[in-house]
Amino acid sequence: MATNLQFPDDFKCPISLEIMSDPVILSSGHTFDRASIQRWLDAGHRTCPITKLPLPENPSLIPNHALRSLISNFALVSLPKPRPYPEPQTLISKLTSVSSSLDSKLNSLDQLTKLSKRDSAFRRKITESGAVSAVLNCIGSSENPILQEKSLSLLLNLSLDDDNKVGLVAEGAIGRVVESLQTGSADSRAVAATILTSLAVVEVNKATIGEYPYAIRALVFLLREGKVRERKEAATALYALCSYPDNRRRAAQCGAVPILVGIADSGLERAIEVLGLLGKSKEGREAMERVNGLVRVLVRVLKNGSSRGVEYALLTLSSLCCYSEEMCVEARREGVLEICMGLVEDENEKIKRKASSLVEVLRGNHS
């Protein structure tokens, strides 16, 4: 029977384990559903989820037209017609009605979140049906942590489409998300940080988020006080935001640098990537100069880190050594020159280029 039909495993995304609607090929040769692998990349990963091998800085996602056609034909021949989606307005009205029970609201959020996770058309339909305002109200007025977390999860799904990112900010999403960063449960804070990462994909949103009172300060607080997942998501959000120059100054002024160094020392390489961006600002460099042991932490990454970690450790050291002769002296004392001489032969072009540049700086040949 078609209803009991088992799809071939090759039709399923290795990440979501769901049937792929838009299969794309990564440079590793493996195929993933576009939405799943894009979330993986947006979270800052630069390795293949299957092989764990490094990926380029901007990985290409090549449409797998052959597989998509196979899946489409298989479904067309073998599967019954899908049941129509429930009307979003019906579910949304349960979120806004004062007579709705908590269980009813939670059930509506579960359905909206599940349907919006994989279907961009349904995400648009939800947005057009006025869901954003209802979801933001649930986030802001809820004293129930489960309701808040589920509302944030739906908001995260709605933020996946670039067309929605600016609109969500215009409707006041940043305020609700920052409130959740400050007062939510651990899970809500982690999801809230992920939403900021998603919204920051759009350049104009980076400035808007950075200018919002307490946004960056709340992320820095999460870096210091959060659990492992919260710290990782906060660091990822800061990395996304600090590609915008003004946000580097804000993060440094909020005390991010010594916290990032401590987290980097405990093994979270995302913190090194954020330091690499902060090192491009005067405030970031000045803050780094005041942190004892920073160069030793960066040296450990140069010796034992991933390719991406090594790249950003080199970037950070270059910024510091060009800025301060004292940092040059400390770097030489910690053996950075010798390490860079070895990295000049690295097969990774970015590492090779950054190592060569730092060698020139440490030898005093830079202008």
**10-residue averages of pLDDT along the chain (367 residues):** 62 89 90 92 88 87 88 68 68 87 92 86 85 90 85 94 89 94 93 96 94 95 94 96 96 97 91 96 96 95 93 96 93 95 92 94 74
- Rounded CA-CA distance 167/185 in Å is 26
Phi and psi at residue 62, to the nearest 5° = -95, 120
- Whole-angstrom distance, CA of residue 260 vs CA of residue 9: 41
Reported pTM: 0.75
Residue type for 313, please?
A
Amino acid found at 64? N
Taking Cα atoms as reference points, which of 152, 127, 124 lies closest to residue 137? 152
Number of neighbouring beta carbons within 10 Å of residue 366: 14
pLDDT of residue 2: 38
Work out the end-to-end distance of the chain between its first and last CA atoms, rounded to an integer number of angstroms. Answer: 74
3-state secondary structure of 158: helix
What's the CA gap between 177 and 213, in Å, rounded? 12
Distance (Å, whole) CA 47 – CA 167: 31
pLDDT at residue number 366: 55
Coil, strand, or helix at residue 47? strand
CA dist., res. 291 & res. 275, Å (int): 12
Cβ neighbors of 48 (< 8 A, separation 6 or more) are 26, 27, 28, 30, 55
Rounded to whole angstroms, the Cα distance separating 129 from 90 reads 10
State the Cα angle at 82 between 79 and 85, rounded to 5°: 165
For 210, the token pair is 């950075």
